[in-house]
A and B are shown apart, each in its own frame.
Chain A
């Protein structure tokens, strides 16, 4: 039954469509009679809209509608929350009242027959505000941290507080200790593709061609907002031009597109500007953290205290797993973690690649490096001395954990042995060279998912799941899984995703798509083979006629009796006989017993080399090596590509990315790709990703752990630690900039 396509470094099945421009993204789905909506964003950071004078723009040519809170329909906003929405608080109700809660909040939409005219009128719309000064800096006085309510609930994946042993007492008496604070800037996702929605109503049925990492949730959310049956909404999104988490939730612009389309009775297209992508589509929250470590002289941890807080909006409590990894990364008898929120006058943050872990592990891994230097121990050796036998937070074994193997492979490929320990001890000409290392981890989640497989007369199979592909290669990897399970060639498998009427998939994020959707496809393939076997054994002409269907096995797409060499009918022949496609749908999910028994995480070791110019302070990453234990690798080529992307994201987080808010009115002042820095090609050196051999029989039937998040986690602390090694200067704020290392 195995064709061996799982594990092969195959190129993307959708590569040609993408590079030739035939792949269609949300904004490409132009509809007949379509008109254009443009959002007008608030220009104050807090307050009220006191007046909107649209008379002047309503008479401009081509203007079809100007919708504000005064004339917008009252929407149902029925209760609906998926796990991707904050559990506490209520989503922004758009154009339902006069309140401005943050800078850039939508306060009107203008609909016109052309985009130009809609933009022009939107810019000319006169709005008066009563403005108050927003609070957008979590370090301002009066910003009181709150306990995130959802993180106190039984079974929550984020814990407001956790503790074992006597961490404060152990810290006080520890022979070696450190206690440091870390501040990571707000980041915006900034994928290439802007958010876009084309909305079209037919009676009370709505179709949305909309950029989404979670089409079934967008369907349910919009149905709830408009108070219509879920079945009346169809969401279509076959391709995503990068997302990094920004399209997990359904944001107000989707509601506005649907609202405008209903109001004007025509299809409406709404595309956010780059600037607007800094307003209402989430961001990685700024975090403030404290890590205190106590250790014995040999480096064995005796105390680990990790306190952190993330910013959130005033109307929703966005939580992420900021401090989780500190509970299980190392062996330590006395551990305390604390997670709080700081509500500000900003839009709600959301998950951005490596959410929680990327920020929290930065603080932990920088602190570990500091401890290594406090004790004169090699940073890799310090991690070895603190390697736990089990997950000490959960008190259960890991389903698999290859962190030490990752350090072996990573050290070897990076050449860690050539590093000299002392800071400022390595040079290349006049440049200061630094080498840093950090551990990475991310949970191996799996969510319930369903898939449908349809065998066709021509021998091909159609596989359908309401999944997404934001870039990791879902199209390709799922085709591989189905081909392998069915014994077909890749060309015989037609995998489709991105429609809400396909069997439901979980959100495309959190590194669980392969585990969840892959497992569902595996289950559906097994189901369709059983169905086909049932057909085969009742067909008189078939060599397996009369055989119990459980005795039928499939080899290269043909049925035969187990242990018998005579090939029986193929899928296609059985379909022809049946006169209709043979179809099966199946669901999969994690066995709750497994989850109770094992702690399941991916681990990695990340090494980075930087060069710092001692005169002018420029910091360049010269090379990086990541070694990861992620279970089975379905497609090494795609996996390496995904790692490279994540490592580049980590370079951005370490050295460039930050959204700067003006404290006077909360406006992002660098909402532009020339001013919000992400790495460009010249910033990207040789990046290597290696996968250590790891067989995990527990995590899921495919043995995969997911890779998207961990690829970013670990890079920023490795770079920060390398900057310390190069300069002797410890920078605990991200991004690290020239001015931070200037006086070294």
Chain B
């Protein structure tokens, strides 16, 4: 690990000022410290934001508000979260391990780096740690990599489960920076790799995530998160799907779907949603709609199976929305 300077911020203003001057925020540290030990991350200055009053979990009207510093485990266990947005709780419980969930924060979760093995190896080319150096995964081993949103420069999947749920639920986020506050959809936080895979999000220099806001909808109760993987816990998704249906009798009025493990960013499945609206929640309907998810997929030899696994996971997640969570 390279030497670094650690400072502690007492207020958001202090933290933002430090970050604007080049410091990196550190909260749970579950991604950052891990990567610093590998020297993949090499910050010279860290600003510890754990003392900021941003760990609140509350309900404002019918909006669930998650402070950026709320721990994954606290959010998952919170009665309001389980009552109003069980999908959020389910996606959090499926992520990481209990030890990591106790440390990792909501803001950090959204900004976690990719899980591509080559990204974590300094002796492999990677356009994320050295733009222009090439991508070792494209011609290498990529069974876990993305089939959607890839470019010739990067095929790494976004690793967050929570982000998939938030994107499906049209959550927004409030950020604060040197130029003041702004709010935008969580969906707009993530960039596609294109030819700049080292740029992963749309935050401006010094901007700090303050909170995430999840609007309630008619579909909140019929919402499930299905994560498919080879072991039962502590593994990133091969494919995951957040699904929420809003019904009017036997007709789907609104559908919200997003997938993880398949895209270079959390992947909202709008064509699938549109194909479901106005239909009955039957398996044949689900299957036909799910096929639309992979229409634009670009599989590689080792992740070809995701072409089949993604639609199947969508179908199963949709069926689960009709079952008791």
Contact = CB atoms under 8 A, between A and B. Distances in A.
B296 interface: no
Contacts of A664: 139-140
Interface in A639-674: 655-656, 660, 662, 664, 667, 669-670, 672, 674
B121 A680 contact: no
Contact of A620 (B141, B232, B236, B316): B232
Interface string B1-28: 1110000000000000000000000000
B278 interface: no
A713 to B, nearest CB: 22
Interface residues of A, number: 34
Nearest to A620: B232
A743 B140 CA distance: 25
B295 interface: no
A679 B231 contact: yes
Interface in B32-66: 39
A538 interface: no
A615 interface: yes
A672 to B, nearest CB: 7
A617 B235 CA distance: 16
Name the residue in A119, A670, A680 with the highest tally of chain B Cβ atoms < 10 Å from its Cβ: A680
B120 interface: yes
A609 to B, nearest CB: 16
Interface in B81-118: 97, 115, 117-118
A657 B245 CA distance: 37
A8 B124 CA distance: 55
A556 B139 CA distance: 72
Contacts of B117: 669-670, 672, 675
A116 B316 contact: no
A739 B235 contact: no
A599 interface: no
Given A615-B316, A669-B117, A670-B117, A680 B231 contact: yes
A578 interface: no
B210 interface: no
Contacts of B305: 738-739, 742
Given A43-B123, A738-B228, A738-B309, A119 B140 contact: no
B312 A669 contact: no
B233 A680 contact: yes
A123 interface: yes
Which of A123, A613, A669, A672 neighbours the largest number of chain B CB atoms within 10 Å of its CB? A669
Interface in B225-284: 226, 228-236, 238-239
A677 interface: yes
A616 B308 CA distance: 9
Given A43-B123, A670-B117, A672-B117, A682 B309 contact: no
A623 interface: no
Given A616-B316, A617-B228, A617-B309, A662 B123 contact: no
Given A616-B228, A618-B228, A738-B238, A682 B140 contact: no
Given A656-B230, A683-B232, A119 B308 contact: no
A63 to B, nearest CB: 14
B220 interface: no
A670 to B, nearest CB: 6
A617 B238 CA distance: 11
A620 B229 CA distance: 11
A314 interface: no
B230 A655 contact: yes
B1 A682 contact: no
Interface in B162-193: none
A616 B312 contact: yes
Contacts of A123: 39, 122
A494 interface: no
A737 interface: yes
Contact of B232 (A662, A669, A680): A680
A120 interface: yes
Contact of A616 (B118, B123, B231, B313): B313
A682 B232 contact: yes
Contacts of B235: 674, 677
Contacts of B316: 613, 615-616
Contacts of A616: 226, 228, 239, 309, 312-313, 316
Contacts of B139: 664
Contacts of A613: 316
Given A660-B141, A738-B238, A739-B309, A615 B123 contact: no
Contact of A120 (B1, B124, B231, B233): B1
B315 interface: yes
Interface in A178-200: none
A742 B123 contact: no
A653 to B, nearest CB: 13
B234 A656 contact: no
Contacts of B39: 123
Contacts of A680: 97, 231-234
B118 A669 contact: yes
A652 to B, nearest CB: 9
Interface string B118-134: 10111110000000000
Contacts of A672: 117, 120
Contacts of A742: 305, 308-309, 312
B121 to A, nearest CB: 7
B304 to A, nearest CB: 9
A671 to B, nearest CB: 8
A677 B230 contact: yes
Nearest to B123: A43
B315 A738 contact: no
B289 to A, nearest CB: 15
Contacts of A615: 312-313, 315-316
Contacts of A674: 115, 234-236
A738 B230 contact: yes
A735 B120 CA distance: 24
A242 B145 CA distance: 33
A739 B230 CA distance: 9
Contacts of B141: 660, 662, 669
Interface string A88-123: 000000000000000000000000000010011001
Contacts of B136: 662
A679 B230 CA distance: 10
B233 A682 contact: yes
A664 B136 CA distance: 10
A684 B211 CA distance: 37
A613 B230 CA distance: 12
Interface in A117-153: 119-120, 123
B180 to A, nearest CB: 38
B158 to A, nearest CB: 16
B41 to A, nearest CB: 13
Nearest to B142: A669
A490 to B, nearest CB: 36
A715 to B, nearest CB: 16
B88 to A, nearest CB: 21
Interface in A574-628: 613, 615-618, 620
B241 to A, nearest CB: 10
B139 to A, nearest CB: 8
A617 B305 CA distance: 11
Nearest to A652: B231
B1 A119 contact: yes
A662 B140 contact: yes
B294 to A, nearest CB: 14
Given A617-B309, A735-B230, 10 more contacts: A615-B315, A618-B230, A660-B141, A669-B117, A669-B118, A669-B141, A672-B117, A680-B97, A683-B232, A738-B230
Interface of B: 1-3, 39, 97, 115, 117-118, 120-124, 136, 139-141, 226, 228-236, 238-239, 305, 308-309, 312-313, 315-316
5 contacts: A120-B3, A664-B139, A675-B117, A679-B231, A680-B231
Q: Which 4 A-B pairs have the closest CB atoms?
A: A682-B232, A43-B123, A739-B305, A615-B316
